[in-house]
């Protein structure tokens, strides 16, 4: 087999794997939107949740959440016209080093709370919350 065909086959496999992952995340997102859709208070002005909480616009509005910190590579803002977003592109896996992003995250959280708003911090499924 020539090098270009091998490269094309590898690229096709990678595309299929990406589509499979996207499909599984879509299915999980539907489940989380129903089963895990409530932001949990951590302290005054700070809430933690999964992707389900980020999709729950009624809860976000009722809790005066104005800022949303996404800590996941595969997620994008759901309501970009209604909330102030910041995205930290990391994988939601147990080995992810979240500490190297702490200054950036804490700055965003402080900005939200000091401006009188509340902030939701969410990932996809909470795999790296340790």
Residue 18 has pLDDT above 70, yes or no: no
Total number of residues shown for the chain? 130
State pLDDT tens for residues 52-101. 899 999 999 999 999 999 998 888 999 999 999 999 998 767 778 889 99
Tokens representing residue 52 in the block: 């389900």
The pLDDT of 37-62, averaged and rounded, is 93
Q: Please give the full DSSP string across 8-66, using - where no structure is assigned.
A: HHHHHHHHHHHHHHHHHHHHHHHHHHHHS--PEEEETTEEEE-HHHHH-HHHHHHTTEE
Which residues belong to the active site?
Answer: 123
pTM of the model: 0.72
Q: What's the mean per-residue pLDDT of the chain?
A: 82
CATH number for the region 3-122 comes to: 3.90.190.10
């Amino acid at each position: 087999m020539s090098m270009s065909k091998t490269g094309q086959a590898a690229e096709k496999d990678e595309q299929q794997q990406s589509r499979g992952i996207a499909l599984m995340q879509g299915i999980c997102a539907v489940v989380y939107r129903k089963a895990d859709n409530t932001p949990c208070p951590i302290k005054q002005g700070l809430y933690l949740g999964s992707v389900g909480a980020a999709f729950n616009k009624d809860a976000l509005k009722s809790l005066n959440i104005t800022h949303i910190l996404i800590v996941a590579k595969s997620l994008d803002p759901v309501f970009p016209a209604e909330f102030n977003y910041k995205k930290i592109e990391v994988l939601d896996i147990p080995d992810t080093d979240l500490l190297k992003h702490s200054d950036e995250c804490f700055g965003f959280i402080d900005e939200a709370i000091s401006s009188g708003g509340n902030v939701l911090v969410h990932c996809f499924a909470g795999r790296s919350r340790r």
